[in-house]
Chain A
Amino acid sequence: MSSSGTAPAANSGSPIIEVSGLCKRFGSFSAVENIDLTIGRGEFFALLGPSGCGKTTLLRMLAGLELPSDGTIRIDGQDMSFVPANKRPINMVFQSYAVFPHMSVLDNVGYGLRIDGVPGDEIRRRAEEALELVKLGGFGARRPDQLSGGQRQRVALARALVKRPKVLLLDEPLSALDAKLREAMRLELVNLQETVGITFVIVTHDQSEALSMATRIAVMNQGTVQQIAPPAELYEFPASRFVADFIGSVNLLEGRVEAASGGRIRLACPGIATPIEMEQDRLPAVGSTGWVALRPEKIDITKEPPVEAGMNTVSGKVEEITYLGETSVYHVRIAPDLPLMKVSSANLDRVTRRAFTWEDPVHLSWTSSCGVVLDR
């Protein structure tokens, strides 16, 4: 399962994948731009980003389905940059699953072994084992059109795993499933990965998918890697406004750094009367522009100003309330020119006894250690 630590979950020995200076250009368009990346053995690694960010191109280069314009890919210590897909010790689960429609389930799973010239009875045994592993035991004789989408995906998984690859690539594996199945499948993929011990590299645009499954996540945007970190670190300590905004929901307050020393930063934000004070190891240059990134659930919303000292406080007016069941999100106007602040608060009481309603004047407060100051 996802770890909350900051170190890669497994890092025994040399990394299984080393990518350095990798570029992919299509004509004048640069799909992947100078990427460096190492993935350790046994990791569940996620490439996360919006569509068109280059994550799929990167995955396809790892598979050998695209060849890099520049840079190298080393797999298990060997340079594989220009080795064709059919000669790489890597297998892939395709977004459409790509289960061969004209073959039975067993023939699909055994296809890669047949190519390798494995004897017939061993193919059968291993294919059935692989089907067992993905809980499709006894489905071997079926044809793909007799399977549901979820079952087809399991066939694709078994087909890729049966070759015992060094790395399994998964291209948006859950995007074609319905919401309920998707949830269940997340857990199953994680368990499967723990069982087989193979390095998984998954591409997804769904942040909750990446957060819940991966041991480490690389957030990509416009062909570059923005940040590589374990899920919790990514959420709590985003490295850029893009990451902060892409992972979960965030409030960004722009300001000028007035002071930065001894782990404390003071920012003057236009539209907010008192300077904001934050605690952080990494200090921006005094005089530069900084952004305070605050998660909505880390802000307190109260009728009266907070009594504790050392809290950052702003006042505003509730403009909108979004009811989400377990929580409500309050959109608070703190200054005419600033975007609304999002504050989420658990609905511990019934809605009818909600503390705030539209147009209520409120105070928002947060401690100096519950957010980060970003410089890009």
Chain B
Amino acid sequence: MARTPIGPLEYTRRTWMRLTLLATFVFLYAPIVTLVAFSFNDSRRNIVWRGFTTKYYEKALGNSDLIEAFVNSLTIALLSTVIATVLGALTALLLWRFRFPFKAGYEGAMALPIVIPEICMGVAMLAFFAKVGWPSGLPWPLSLSAIIIAHVSFSFPFVAVVVRARLAGFNQELAEAAQDLGASEWRVFWDVMVPFMRPGLVAGALLAFTLSLDDFVITFFTSGPDTVTFPVKVYSMVRFSVTPEVNAASTVLIVLTVVLTGIALWMQFRQEKKSS
């Protein structure tokens, strides 16, 4: 079969473009793929393939510090996501619905946590909790409260951005139709606004969850010896050496986030398909 000649705008069919694309993806994925692959490698030295094993997963599972850090990370992510989603949705509603004095300034302040460097946020949180004398030694999960607060502070503006983008496409007539059919403001909110915002809420919550799980720098400044999160734990392990155990634990986290993201993307895709 004769190949169709490459059209003037079919850039993606050109060889050098394909090579660039391939090289980029190799660059982006080779480290992760090798990390995952070598978590199954039956060799401590992590370089030459010596056969398949799951012993490092068993080892990681047996490492109670690592497990504790993992549980801490998930707890923090879950709780901060719930709070951040509510706060972010409220922020989005406020900015979408109302005109009020100094609104531009308010929006600027809300954008600050998104733009300022993580390190600045981290030291601010450290200084804040030290200054107000945030109680330490609280029972779990209250002991995680400082980290949760810090995570909410940097993630809820992201949720607000996502939800507000969704709200921008809202047809005001939907709310008016509900009102016209007898719904009070409260019912309009629950019957029409919330269902409409749902994809934005899901996407925002997912973003907050990932940001929380992903965060190292800010957590590094707010965590104490009893409140180690997974990234902080991995950091302290990585400082000493590269071990297959860390590979195994990291693989679990990668799989977890990829699966969660996949579910969320799939849900969003389904929603979009429905509403288009």
**Which positions in A face B, CB cutoff 8 Å?**
63-65, 84-87, 90-92, 94-96, 98, 100-102, 111-112, 115-116, 143, 145, 156, 159-160, 163
Contacts and interface: CB of A to CB of B under 8 A. Distances in A.
Interface in B151-197: 171, 173-174, 176-184, 187, 191-192, 195-196
A86 B275 contact: no
A116 B178 CA distance: 12
Contact of B180 (A86, A95, A145): A86
Contact of A85 (B176, B192, B196): B176
B275 A145 contact: yes
A84 B179 contact: yes
A35 B171 CA distance: 29
Contacts of B179: 65, 84-86
A116 B171 contact: no
Interface of B: 171, 173-174, 176-184, 187, 191-192, 195-196, 198, 274-276
Contact of A91 (B174, B181, B195, B275): B181
A159 B173 contact: no
A63 B180 contact: yes
Nearest to A96: B173
Contacts of B182: 86-87, 112, 115-116, 163
B206 to A, nearest CB: 20
Contacts of B177: 92, 94, 98, 100, 156, 159
18 contacts: A65-B176, A65-B180, A86-B180, A91-B180, A91-B181, A92-B177, A92-B180, A94-B177, A96-B171, A96-B173, A98-B174, A101-B196, A101-B274, A112-B182, A116-B182, A145-B275, A145-B276, A156-B177
A142 to B, nearest CB: 12
Given A115-B182, A159-B181, 12 more contacts: A65-B176, A84-B179, A86-B182, A92-B176, A98-B173, A98-B174, A100-B192, A112-B182, A145-B274, A160-B180, A160-B181, A163-B181
A360 B184 CA distance: 69
Contacts of A86: 179-184
Nearest to A63: B180
A65 B177 CA distance: 10
A143 B173 contact: no
A86 B186 CA distance: 12
Contacts of A101: 196, 274-275
A168 to B, nearest CB: 11
A145 B183 CA distance: 23
A160 B173 CA distance: 14
Contact of A102 (B171, B176, B196): B196
B169 to A, nearest CB: 11
A156 B171 CA distance: 15
Contacts of B187: 115
Contacts of A98: 171, 173-174, 176-177
A71 B49 CA distance: 86
Contacts of B276: 145
A98 B180 CA distance: 11
5 pairs of A and B residues whose beta carbons are closest in the complex: A112-B181, A98-B177, A98-B173, A102-B195, A115-B182
B182 to A, nearest CB: 4
Among B176, B191, B198, the one with the most A-chain Cβ atoms within 10 Å of its Cβ is B176
A153 B182 CA distance: 20
A163 B179 CA distance: 13
B197 to A, nearest CB: 11
A116 B182 CA distance: 7
Contacts of A84: 179
Contact of A111 (B181, B184, B198, B275): B181
A288 B153 CA distance: 75
A202 to B, nearest CB: 16
B93 to A, nearest CB: 18
Given A102-B195, A145-B274, A145-B276, A111 B178 contact: yes
Nearest to B194: A102
